[in-house]
Amino acid sequence: MAAPPPSVPGEPSPPSPPLQYSVLLEHLVGDKRRPRAWDPAVFGGIPCPPKSEEQKMVERVMESCPFKAALACVGGFVLGGAFGIFTAGIDTNVGFDPKDPYRTPTAKEVLKDMGQRGISYAKNFAIVGAMFSCTECVVESYRGKSDWKNSVISGCITGGAIGFRAGLKAGVIGCGGFAAFSAAVDYYLR
């Protein structure tokens, strides 16, 4: 940067030119700063076209409470069915007859028990999944936040409701157990 010319006696000195870093600072944080539109393509990212109305509608449907509950219900049904079939397949008491303890069960009896147990587990898991999903959606809507507390509160409500059928003590244990399980799953997934 050039030095200012010497001043003549009696004349006011000319203003010194601003320092370069102050000019740069004005453009970075001052009033002259221009907001930039975020364009990922500039930085080598994949450019995203604006979303159409159909895409926005699909996103709204997928984020709605009924869709989440239906998805949890179907997922619980499938997972419960698989779990029921698995447990029936490894159960040694399938087809057990106390009158003849040495009788080997037939394949038909084993398959029938696997089907019955699979359906039973599938229904139970579907109900629990739908209950938890609906409760979490209601809690999230009420609180207006999406954080780990929603799943813990929902787990407590769901576990308490399921356990309360067996009494108050079972309801409290169910609330605590399901809340702890929900917190662990939420911690692992987030």
Which residues lie closer than 8 Å to 1 by C-beta, 6 or more apart? 17, 19, 20
pLDDT for residue 48: 72
pLDDT for residue 25: 72
- The conformation of residue 184, written as its DSSP 8-state character, comes to H
3-state SS assignment for residue 170: helix
> pLDDT of 94-150, one tens digit each?
767 778 777 777 888 888 888 999 999 999 999 999 999 999 999 998 988 888 899
pLDDT for residue 99: 81
Band (158; pLDDT cuts 50, 70, 90): very high
Which residues lie closer than 8 Å to 137 by C-beta, 6 or more apart? 65, 68, 69
> pLDDT of 34-63, one tens digit each?
766 666 656 666 767 788 899 999 999 998
> pLDDT of 26-35, one tens digit each?
767 766 667 6
> What is the percentage of the chain residues whose pLDDT exceeds 70?
79
Mean pLDDT across 62-84: 94
Q: Are 183 and 152 in contact (CB under 8 A)?
A: yes
Which residues lie closer than 8 Å to 176 by C-beta, 6 or more apart? 156, 159
pLDDT for residue 179: 94
Distances from the Cα of 157 to the Cα of 29, 72, 172, 189, angstroms: 49, 17, 10, 21
DSSP string, 24-85: HHHHHHSTTPPP----GGGGT----PPPPHHHHHHHHHHTSHHHHHHHHHHHHHHHHHHHHH
pLDDT for residue 45: 65
3-state SS assignment for residue 149: helix
Q: Are 83 and 126 in contact (CB under 8 A)?
A: no
pLDDT tops 60 at residue 18:
no
Band (8; pLDDT cuts 50, 70, 90): low
